[in-house]
Chains A and B, each alone.
Chain A
Amino acid sequence: MRYNSQDELTRRQFMLENARNYLGVSLLPMLGSSIASEAFAQSASQNKNPAKSVIFLNMSGGMSHLDTFDLKLNNKEVSGPIEGLKTPIDGYSVSQYLPHTAKVMDRFTVINSMHSKIGAHEQGQYLVHKSYVPRGTIVHPSVGAWVSKLAGRSNPTLPPYIAISSSAKSTGGGWMGANYSAAMVGDPAKGLEDVTRPHSVTEEDFHRRLKLADMINQKFHNDHGSAEVKSYHKVFEEAAKVMESEDLAAFDLSKEPASVKNLYGQSKFGQGCLLARRLVEADVRFIEVGLGGWDTHYDNFTGVEQRCSELDQPLAALIQDLESKGLLDSTLVVLATEFGRTPQIQSQYREGRGHHPSAFTYLVAGGGTKRGFVYGASDERGQKAVVDPVSIYDFNSTIAYALGIDHEEVHYSPSKRPFRMAGPDKEKGAPITSIFA
């Protein structure tokens, strides 16, 4: 699945020619990795040893930092029944719900000083994914779309942005157009659904259909060709190209030995992580895997324990597996969430915890980041990020940095408004370079 042999290049060239002929378009603009501005290429802010892919594990609902990776064991009133598990990092423990992860914490950088101003799920998830807060006047592209656009694709036929068990709302291309939206995988065991022609449709039929649809679309575009409508056309071209891809086996988990599957566990999230690793091997740029249900207002400790039992084994397996395949250095793994939970335990909701955006935790591993490192800190109650606070804007800029792309590069929407991967100017999003080795 690598594209450096002469044969592969020829095949790829051949395939492109074919696609061009059938679809009447050039696919080359989508292919080229972005040639960043010369100024950026020469600036000190460019990462000279960039990662190639990102695996973005999205803990939606608001993962409790206090009961996972930012324990306050000296403060029983905050920690409740949580106990610490020692990790290979000196003096740093994770919660007893994360026994597998505890053992591999020496591969991670823990950021315990994440903070935001948004305590509602919808807006919080939006900000995490897009570096902007929702506005009625525009739909912003997700970070995966930015990465696809700025870093370009490295596999010419597979979608550069794939979302597993995630919502369409969070993973869209926004103003960049539907062709920058993530391809969605609902069930990792099924891979990318509907990617093969049904038996009843021959290849010739399929190409006839494309030509007929082109006829209808051309007329429609002449009459009603907004940027959005045109981006849909590109999506259908993309889909036809994916169908022809020789790398579809990347989606097939049955190709994995049982031992590896068991390493990840049989849960949907576990299989999603395994699929993410296969997609990294196939040079997909940005893969999101979702794990929901972290909204533990009610009966927090049962809820967190349950969620951790879904998260723990796959997360540890993913890191170990990437490492053993020599992919960890070129892959940035991120564990993200929209906010943390309140230090105050609410007894009236059977020991629940509310939304808490002023301090929470992200994890990163690989992609050139430091190993066994704790960055930043919240105060003694986990109430506020006090040491080296990191905003979502900073963090998304850090993803750009890891990939060697310019978080400040300005791109314009069809309505001629400027946007950046780092978010709005006024938020001053900047990469946290000190977490890189």
Chain B
Amino acid sequence: MGLAHAAPPEHAINAAKIDRLIEKRILAEGMTVPERADDHVFLRRAFLSALGRIPTVAELEQFRDLSSPSSRMEVVDYVYNHEGYNSHMINWSMDLLRLKDRNDKKMNAQALIHWVREAVQSNMPWNEFAKALVSTKGNAWVDSGAAGYYAMDIGMQNDNLANTSFAFLGVKLECAQCHDDPFQEWERMDFYELSALVNGPTTMSRNIGENMRKLAAEDPENYNVNGLGRVDLLHRSLSYFSRFGTPDNKGQGTVKLPKDWQYEDGVPGEQVAARTPFGEKHKFSKALAEIPVPDFSSVRALPKSERPAARQKIVKAHQQLIKDRDASRPSGLDTFGAWLTSDNTPQFAYTISARMWERVIGFSLTETLGVYEEPEDSNFPVLWEYLAELMKEYDYDLKLFQQTLASTNFFQSQATTRDVVNGEVNSLSGRVIRRMKAEQIWDSLLTLMVTEPEALPQRQLQQRYIYRGYDLGPIDEVVTHVLSMDRKTYTQYVKNLYRDMAEGRIKKAGASNQPQQMAMMMSPKPNKKKASKALRRASELPSPIPAGHFLATFGQSERRVIDGYSQEGSVSQALSLYNGSVQKHLIDNRQSSINQSLRRLNSTSERIEYIFLSILSREPSSAELKTCKQEISASGQKGYQNIISALLSSQEFLFII
């Protein structure tokens, strides 16, 4: 403040370096460096990039004067240190990791989602984040939510691996799951040797010793009680919570080749040991895979009476062999995490820096977003190499990295009207215009409905185990207990627990002392419809959002696949903006913040200006002001609603320039 020689912050110096690299390239291409965008365009862009929403009028006021050279940097600092940054970054993470509230078996995945949210909120370094997801063992409700990463993809170990590889390394391995990849260098053996690192069950196990469904059918009086459902459903619920985690025997380091193995480098059923196909080299000893099957031939020579004991001895010796091996071998998951995030696996830093670049700057450095190419063969080799180095220098601090990109002059470029495509140098001719993502539109509308969108309630992690209204205690305690029991004890526990509820020995959870939102999140079957109608930022709504919801209509990812969102338009979107929730909850709603503010203003011009600032982040031109005033004289108070609706259905609102 006021010091003439105060050194610019680190990220500003790095931003200037990036600008020099871009300018050099622009000039080398015989192009001209794009002009700087207007203040209001810059403001809107910065807010949408970092916070995922347009600025409120109060925020526009705060940054009314951007004439001094440092003032635009103050905007960048503001948006990247704002609570709303987390919300927008959570959307991004949910898309990349395909996070749904429940996995395909309908197991509650909130523990994992909550862990990811906290990681984003604490700006956890990206390498630690990735490593924790792929290496953490234990139950997601008890030990760490990160342990839910594999359970999310229950029964789909190979798909999970292909998705991990694409999300974090930009390397597509899905072809090599089944055959040598004809388009890339990967062979099917590469995939299997890598998969050996993560081989093992996708969830923990919790078996029961009795057929509970049969029990409910045979003894309905005791085990299929009105209001409680069948006893087997209680077992299912308990097992779903207790199984949601990564078991100790995941990451075996060896894997069996499948029955349809078609190449000469292996035979169906053969055990192969782990090897990493690219990046940092790791190779597990083949010996791990080669424990001979027990040989019982000697037993047959013995008299019958001695055979069981002899057989038992051989079995025990074999079990000891396995035990010794398991104790001595490295953990596959730890190795996998180390390999994935190593500096010697260059794809990791390159991929995240390219993804962050696209997120902030608006176009992809590679031909296809998120797909790794050899940097020296890419369209922007020097720039990309610098960015990957910077990412490492920043210790994978994604917030600082994005803040740096938003501090470049290039971020402030005027929009280009050329039809440019990703990965082409044309992208350097100016900002590529794109429609807001579904979440950006939704969150922007929120700024017109409430004064402080970030103050709205957030998702809470369910703490207590509520089963059909009965409070079974804290989830982690219940799960720990359930996991500690042997099969027989657990069977009895389920029956007792069921009877305890039936006979009122366990209390119903008090509805009154639970805030509404909490109750919603805690019920075994969250009321999706109700939750999705709540006034919350997009990051706080159910995932995936039900079909027909505003966010789905505007192309929010269904979170089945990476980058599953769409930014294309449709008639349904136009109808929604004309006649849907926007009209009902925003324009017709006297309590919406924009309507409240308009009532406080005195003159027609002030109100029209306020509407333009709120929705388009700019003042009306004199021609627009004139037309709008005519509208007010013709339609009276209704005219303001007409102007709001018109602006919200304009392309200027929907597109980020």
Interface set of A (CB-CB < 8 Å, partner B): 117, 119-122, 134-139, 159, 165, 167-169, 171-174, 178-179, 181-187, 190, 192-198, 200-201, 205-206, 208-213, 215-217, 219-221, 223-229, 231-233, 235-236, 238-240, 242-243, 295, 297-299, 342-344, 348-350, 352, 354-356, 383, 414-415
Q: Which 9 A-B pairs have the closest CB atoms?
A: A186-B548, A298-B155, A178-B569, A136-B368, A239-B574, A212-B646, A186-B547, A172-B568, A194-B580
A/B interface sample: 5 pairs, CB < 8 A = A169-B565, A194-B572, A208-B646, A232-B569, A343-B260
> Which residue of B259, B260, B422, B578 contacts A136 across the interface (Cβ within 8 Å)?
B422
Count of A-B contacts judged by CB separation below 8 Å: 252
15 more A-B residue pairs beyond the given contacts A173-B569, A208-B639, A228-B433, with a C-beta to C-beta distance below 8 A: A121-B561, A136-B368, A168-B554, A173-B570, A181-B569, A183-B572, A184-B572, A205-B641, A213-B649, A219-B652, A226-B417, A232-B569, A243-B578, A415-B419, A415-B421
User: CB of B174 within 8 A of chain A?
Assistant: yes
Q: How far is the CB of B438 from chain A (nearest CB, A)?
A: 9
Q: How far is the CA of A238 from the CA of B651 in the complex (A)?
A: 15
Q: How far is the CB of B231 from chain A (nearest CB, A)?
A: 20
User: Known: A235-B571, A352-B155. Is A198-B584 also a contact (CB below 8 A)?
Assistant: yes
- Binding-face segment, B79-87, B156-164, B313-321: B156-164
Interface set of B (CB-CB < 8 Å, partner A): 104-105, 154-156, 158-159, 162, 172, 174-175, 177-178, 182, 201, 258-260, 364, 366-369, 371, 415, 417-419, 421-424, 433, 435, 546-549, 552-555, 557-558, 560-566, 568-576, 578-580, 583-584, 587-588, 616, 621, 624, 627-628, 631, 634-635, 638-639, 641-643, 645-647, 649-652, 654-655, 657
Contact A184 B570 (CB under 8 A): yes
| Residue of B whose beta carbon sits closest to that of A182 | B570
Contact B588 A200 (CB under 8 A): yes
Q: How far is the CA of A48 from the CA of B182 in the complex (A)?
A: 40
Q: How far is the CB of B180 from chain A (nearest CB, A)?
A: 12
> Which residue of A136, A167, A217 contacts B651 across the interface (Cβ within 8 Å)?
A217
Contact A172 B364 (CB under 8 A): no
Contact B423 A136 (CB under 8 A): yes
Q: How far is the CA of A53 from the CA of B553 in the complex (A)?
A: 24
Contact A215 B156 (CB under 8 A): no
Most B CB contacts (10 A, CB to CB) among A134, A190, A228 go to: A228
| Residue of A whose beta carbon sits closest to that of B183 | A117
User: Known: A181-B569, A352-B155. Is A198-B583 also a contact (CB below 8 A)?
Assistant: yes
Q: How far is the CA of A228 from the CA of B436 in the complex (A)?
A: 13
Q: How far is the CA of A138 from the CA of B419 in the complex (A)?
A: 11
Contact A212 B175 (CB under 8 A): no
Contact A298 B553 (CB under 8 A): no
| Residue of B whose beta carbon sits closest to that of A298 | B155
Q: How far is the CA of A236 from the CA of B178 in the complex (A)?
A: 45
Contact B158 A168 (CB under 8 A): no
Q: Which residues of A contact B657 (CB under 8 A)?
A: 224
Q: Which residues of A contact B158 (CB under 8 A)?
A: 354
User: Known: A197-B579, A415-B419. Is A235-B624 also a contact (CB below 8 A)?
Assistant: no
Contact B569 A119 (CB under 8 A): no
User: Known: A122-B564, A212-B628. Is A194-B579 also a contact (CB below 8 A)?
Assistant: yes
Q: Which residues of B contact A174 (CB under 8 A)?
A: 568
Q: How far is the CA of A139 from the CA of B175 in the complex (A)?
A: 22
Q: How far is the CA of A327 from the CA of B572 in the complex (A)?
A: 27
Q: How far is the CA of A305 from the CA of B654 in the complex (A)?
A: 43
User: Known: A138-B421, A184-B572, A212-B642. Is A198-B560 also a contact (CB below 8 A)?
Assistant: no
